[in-house]
Amino acid sequence: MSVLRTTTRPRPLQVVVVGGGAAAVIAVVHLFRRTSPDAPVDVHVIEPAARVGPGLAYRTEHPRHTVNNFAERLSAVDGDPGHLIRWCAGLGLDLGARSFPSRKVYGDYLAAVLDGVDVPAGSSLLRRRDEAVDLVPEADHWSVVLASGAALGADRVVLALGNPPPRAQPRLAERLGARFVPDPWAPGWHQRLPGRGLTDVRRVLLLGTGLTMLDTAVELEHLLPRAEIVAASRRGRLPRAHVVEPTDGSDWRDAVDAVRGFANQLWATLSPADRARFAEVYAHEWDLHRHRMSPAMAHHLSRLRDTGTLVVRTLDQVDPEAFDLVVSCTGPRPVPTPGWNRLVDAMLERGLVRANGLGLGVDLVQPGHPVDDRGRVLPGLFWMGAARKGLEWEVGAVPDLRAQALALADVVAEAAEVAADERAPLLR
């Protein structure tokens, strides 16, 4: 005769992570590192792409698209700078601490990190290939509505949606029609050009002279070997380069990197007026020196310029009408902009999100909770990545994502303990 025994088990906290790029992977790793069997969590990762990990930045397969920081700074695991390097060594890829792997390799690494993540006893990790399109506040939880029509109940929602495409340029789009490409990160955009596609393109204008422009220039250089590529921005200034050899501490890069290490602490001490002044007056100079290209890319860029394949100008020196193709490489628009993401649109509509005072990101309070349109903090939601611009200054690079993931893990662990105390009777 079988005996029914009544026992209890902790109720796992339900966590939905929307987005499956670098931020999501790094979040999950740190979240499970902090989870105890007594306070388990069920994590669902929602991502429309087939693979979780690469996201927008690391899905490119172009061999010249390398990461823009040293391998030792890109570990997905806080406190373990050798993690990426060891993973590469396991594949027979010899990566120095100050080398720059391809973004494809880095995307594979992120996917592998998630595949191999240690899920503590009683917890679970589920991936779902879908898109979140709405977020509905219920009495004591959130309902994450998916494009497939399903809805997931969540105690905590992590929003890791990444970077929106470049700012819309409606006047240029209207004037240039199909000759204007608004989003160089849209996969295969050159295959979708109307008419004869790239066949008749002789002159290309890239709007912007930052890292996105460089990515696009090296793609186009192969697709259009005889074309002239002109890159133009307001000041026509190019990103600076990393150096591989360790410096003796007196290089300007050492100073920038030292400040970068506590840039967000400095930011926290600034008044709203000083933050606005930094964003308006100094940010351009800071970003130019802080977001550096790999030495290999710098070398290649010199070659492109020496051979006349790539010409750099200021905006007042170019007329977009004179080009066969104009590609916007101006950097991402702010996350709370309508029209790039159905979930963000729905949240704007519901008043769950609003732009911050600087207009650079979502209105958030530490450690990452949004403030709704009535001024209430929503502790069940946590934003990672680009949306945080303004709460902090450095928000999207891997070291920033690690710091955010640590803060998230604390928030989730605390909530999981509370949920575990609400023990549900269970028959087994």
Ligand X SMILES: Cc1cc2nc3c(=O)[nH]c(=O)nc-3n(C[C@H](O)[C@H](O)[C@H](O)COP(=O)(O)OP(=O)(O)OC[C@H]3O[C@@H](n4cnc5c(N)ncnc54)[C@H](O)[C@@H]3O)c2cc1C
145 lies in the site for ligand X, by CB under 6 A: no
60-73 burial: b if 16+ Cβ within 10 Å, else e? beeebbbbbbbbbb
CB-wise, 211 or 230, nearer to ligand X? 211
CB-wise, 68 or 233, nearer to ligand X? 68
Q: How far is the CB of 47 from ligand X (least distance, A)?
A: 5
Stretch that binds ligand X, among 63-71, 236-244, 261-269, 414-422 (CB under 6 A): 63-71
CB-wise, 320 or 334, nearer to ligand X? 334
DSSP secondary structure of 32-43: HHT--TTS-EEE
20 lies in the site for ligand X, by CB under 6 A: yes
Q: Is 338 helix (H, G, I), strand (E, B) or coil?
A: coil
Stretch that binds ligand X, among 40-48, 171-179, 297-305, 310-318 (CB under 6 A): 40-48
232 lies in the site for ligand X, by CB under 6 A: no
State the amino acid at position 47 in one-letter form: E
Q: Which two tokens stand for residue 74?
A: 């890109």
- With CB under 6 A as the contact rule, the residue among 12, 164, 208, 396 that binds ligand X is 396
Q: In 3D, which of 252, 165, 161 has the Cα closest to residue 208?
A: 165
| Whole-angstrom distance, CA of residue 379 vs CA of residue 390 | 19
Stretch that binds ligand X, among 158-166, 236-244, 278-286, 295-303 (CB under 6 A): 158-166
Stretch that binds ligand X, among 15-23, 33-41, 201-209, 255-263 (CB under 6 A): 15-23
- With CB under 6 A as the contact rule, the residue among 12, 15, 34, 69 that binds ligand X is 69
Q: In 3D, which of 391, 390, 388, 414 has the Cα closest to residue 401?
A: 388
| Whole-angstrom distance, CA of residue 49 vs CA of residue 185 | 14
Q: How far is the CB of 339 from ligand X (least distance, A)?
A: 13
Q: Which two tokens stand for residue 416?
A: 């999981």
Which residue(s) pair with 15 in the sheet? 43, 156
CB-wise, 48 or 96, nearer to ligand X? 48
114 lies in the site for ligand X, by CB under 6 A: no
- With CB under 6 A as the contact rule, the residue among 15, 24, 41, 154 that binds ligand X is 24
CA of 286: how far to CAs of 259, 282, 394, in Å?
Answer: 10, 6, 11
Q: How far is the CB of 333 from ligand X (least distance, A)?
A: 12
Are 362 and 336 in contact, with CB atoms under 8 Å apart?
A: yes
Tokens 């590529």 correspond to what residue?
229
Q: In 3D, which of 327, 317, 315 has the Cα closest to residue 178?
A: 327
- With CB under 6 A as the contact rule, the residue among 14, 99, 163, 337 that binds ligand X is 163
| Whole-angstrom distance, CA of residue 237 vs CA of residue 231 | 10
208 lies in the site for ligand X, by CB under 6 A: no
Q: How far is the CB of 131 from ligand X (least distance, A)?
A: 4
Question: Quick one: DSSP state of residue 281?
Answer: I
- With CB under 6 A as the contact rule, the residue among 41, 132, 176, 241 that binds ligand X is 132
221 lies in the site for ligand X, by CB under 6 A: no
CB-wise, 378 or 397, nearer to ligand X? 397
165 lies in the site for ligand X, by CB under 6 A: no
- With CB under 6 A as the contact rule, the residue among 10, 12, 162, 166 that binds ligand X is 162
Q: How far is the CB of 89 from ligand X (least distance, A)?
A: 20
- With CB under 6 A as the contact rule, the residue among 14, 35, 68, 99 that binds ligand X is 68
Q: How far is the CB of 428 from ligand X (least distance, A)?
A: 35
| Whole-angstrom distance, CA of residue 275 vs CA of residue 290 | 18
CB atoms within 10 A of CB 317: 11
241 lies in the site for ligand X, by CB under 6 A: no
CB atoms within 10 A of CB 15: 26
Are 183 and 328 in contact, with CB atoms under 8 Å apart?
A: yes
* Footprint of ligand X on 325-384 (CB under 6 A): 341, 343
Beta strands, E only, 164-302: 180-181, 203-207, 228-233
Q: Which two tokens stand for residue 63?
A: 């061999």
- With CB under 6 A as the contact rule, the residue among 15, 16, 17, 22 that binds ligand X is 22
184 lies in the site for ligand X, by CB under 6 A: no
* Footprint on this chain of ligand X (rule: CB under 6 A): 18-24, 46-49, 55-57, 67-69, 131-132, 160-163, 341, 343, 385, 396-398
